[in-house]
Amino acid sequence: MATVAFIGLGVMGYPMAGHLKTKGGHELRVYNRTAEKARKWADEFGGTACDTPADAAKGADFVFTCVGNDDDLRAVTLAPGGVLHGMSEGAILIDNTTASAEVARELADACSDKGCGFLDAPVSGGQAGADNGVLTVMVGGDEATFAKANPVIDAYARMVGLMGPVGSGQLTKMINQICIAGLVQGLSEGIHFGKKAGLDIEKVVDVISKGAAGSWQMENRHKTMNTGRYDYGFAVDWMRKDLDIVLTEARRNGATLPVTALVDQFYADVQAMGGNRWDTSSLLARLEK
């Protein structure tokens, strides 16, 4: 059993921290910007709610962060009261935020100066994956740090992979989002086309999902898409945040991403329709407006 701090109890972090407590059997200290949520988590799982990230990190063997973006991450790690001001030498910071590779390297340097380890470890699998403890975790860092942290990360994961040095986890998550963006647009166009052609979408998907067109998105989202329900997971606002990270990195490394850039603009159209909090499958709503 380890002493673990978890910073950020949103729709992903709340159940992830819960699995670290219940499945991992670790001692948990938690912090959330809304203190009431941290107290609720502590009452539910038996951990300790702390007043600051630094307080949560004091004496912890492993510190997890799962917040919104680069700025949020810097605020809970580097700013006064952040975890770097509470972590002890030898502790490991594991960041589950989907953020830039740049901030991952920045945090790795800060941890190194303090004698601590660092892993960038963004996740995929959505709220359902977090709730069920079956997330895919893409990790950047050195092998020794990964070997120490992997058994702890396993509590909320189905698959954990070391992708390379610091920043590689975030870069892999960018590829994940590139692939999803194009796939969801294709699925949206397929359903839209099928409706216009007068086909029974359920029958169509039952057949094509068993062939080369099949995907997780098709299996898990076609029913809700077909009925115009878009409250089943990762929000459009967050997808646009992720795609901004992707396109910024592409400008830096010279990658050409025409479909990703186009789908990003389609999501901007969904936002303009008031769909900021709709899930990412709402690209179909844009076609049907």
Report the distance separating Cα 87 and Cα 102, nearest Å. 22
- What value does the CA radius of gyration of the chain take, rounded to a whole number of Å? 20
Task: Tell me how crowded residue 260 is: count the other CB atoms within 10 A of its CB.
Answer: 21
Single out the residue of 242, 271, 263, 264 nearest to residue 176, CA to CA.
Answer: 242
Single out the residue of 73, 19, 29 nearest to residue 51, CA to CA.
Answer: 29
21 as an active site residue: the answer is no
Phi-psi region of 101 (alpha: psi -120 to 50; beta: other; left: phi over 0): alpha
Among 173, 203, 223, 289, the active-site one is: 173
Report the distance separating Cα 153 and Cα 95, nearest Å. 11
Catalytic residue annotation? 173
